[in-house]
Chains A and B, each alone.
Chain A
């Protein structure tokens, strides 16, 4: 039998955006307008919050968790009568997953790319030519020194 895990909820309470799960009374208003639920019924924002209330850590932030299929549309945030902001709770869970290293690789790649290049999209010769063709100014990125200093400082805190 699964055991209720209060410790997990205590940890989630400390993550920015995680605390509001405590307000959920399981009405399900978030479910009807969830586009992911429409096409993948096992993804259900109400049951995600229920698992949070029980503290089912492995299902939520273990490898291959369903939470990564949230489409970030904010419909649940709009619908919730209790201001649970289910999407923000899901994002807080994703933050915990990243701490554990169970997140999809895309997340690490995007963060590394921003640190190294300042942007998420590679600058290609094709696009440079298109920009010239359209008489657009040269695209400059002058933030890399500052970003490196910021990442250094934040990582050593």
Chain B
């Protein structure tokens, strides 16, 4: 199977360990990645969209048109890219007037949006196209007894009529994917909370992230598992800020799901770059390595 990954900005240029984990785990599943160097920023669904909506549509449509030329679906690895590209693709497929307006812009660079491909986050490719059974067969070092607190983030699931992943009030996709690597998913109290990254006032971001740390801390989870580099930003380096502001000493390792998957397929802690994380504990590494040694 060939897919076109949309790496975005934060994964390749801030958290390349996430890119490494995705490349390792997809190779183990026999999936070939076709990289497109002409992609730009998605562009970002918060600031860029709030500033210049028509430019936002146009740049996103340009990205989608590149995948259309290759007749490949776009697979996103970041929830922000997922939000922009899914939303733009949805509206341009359904709104002819808007599509014509955007195509007039694209014509100046000789491109056209046609509406011939789909965009989705990698977790839905795993669930729907590859299937949990095939993933289970790729697992050589199951992460038994590792308790992973789930954080969905906002933009994988909502708006549900556009994203079409599942019911955003009672999602299970990440729980199933965590189970398949042998770990135990933990639905803590605030597992559907927003990381708060988009708020203008820093206090709000800190308060929202704090509510998540407090909730994970009260559960018996070993780490927080997620699928979005922006949430990761709020929870890894952000954890230091929250601890300072609330006079706490949080030490909750934050893991991008595909790091767990790659490790369960035999990759080392270094190969998935856990040593680059701001919050990482010896206990957590030891627990992972014990799993690998037992396997």
Contact = CB atoms under 8 A, between A and B. Distances in A.
A50 interface: no
A7 B9 CA distance: 40
Question: Which of A73, A110, A111 has the largest count of B CB atoms less than 10 A from its CB?
Answer: A73
Contacts of A110: 43-44, 47-48, 51
A139 B35 CA distance: 10
Interface in A107-157: 107-108, 110-111, 114, 118-124, 127, 130-131, 134-137, 139-143, 146-147, 149-151, 153-154
B23 A36 contact: no
Interface residues on B, range: 35 or more
A22 interface: no
A137 B193 CA distance: 35
Contact of A106 (B13, B47, B62, B168): B47
Contacts of B9: 119-121
A111 B62 contact: no
Contact of B13 (A77, A122, A150): A122
Nearest to A17: B53
B108 A107 contact: no
A61 to B, nearest CB: 12
Given A40-B204, A75-B158, A143-B39, A121 B14 contact: yes
A82 interface: no
A94 interface: yes
A81 interface: no
B55 interface: yes
A90 B53 CA distance: 13
Contact of A71 (B17, B23, B55, B194): B194
Interface in A34-52: 35-36, 39-40
A151 B13 CA distance: 24
Contacts of A130: 16-17, 273, 276
B74 to A, nearest CB: 15
B59 A150 contact: yes
A68 interface: yes
B217 interface: no
B158 A77 contact: yes
Contacts of B111: 146
Contacts of B53: 15-17, 91-92, 95
A143 to B, nearest CB: 4
Most buried by B among A15, A39, A108: A39
B201 interface: yes
B1 interface: no
B179 interface: no
B273 A134 contact: yes
B50 A107 contact: yes
Interface in B160-180: 160, 168-169
B198 interface: yes
A131 to B, nearest CB: 5
B98 A16 contact: yes
Interface of A: 15-17, 35-36, 39-40, 68-75, 77-78, 85, 91-92, 94-95, 98, 103-104, 106-108, 110-111, 114, 118-124, 127, 130-131, 134-137, 139-143, 146-147, 149-151, 153-154
Question: What are the nearest 5 A-B pairs in CB distance?
Answer: A74-B158, A94-B50, A68-B200, A153-B108, A121-B13
Interface of B: 9-10, 12-14, 16-17, 19-20, 23, 35, 37-41, 43-55, 58-59, 62, 98, 105-106, 108-109, 111, 154-155, 158-160, 168-169, 193-194, 196-201, 203-204, 207-208, 271, 273, 276
Given A147-B59, A150-B55, 20 more contacts: A35-B194, A35-B196, A70-B198, A72-B45, A85-B159, A91-B49, A94-B51, A95-B53, A103-B50, A110-B51, A111-B51, A120-B41, A120-B44, A134-B273, A143-B38, A146-B62, A147-B40, A150-B59, A154-B55, A154-B105
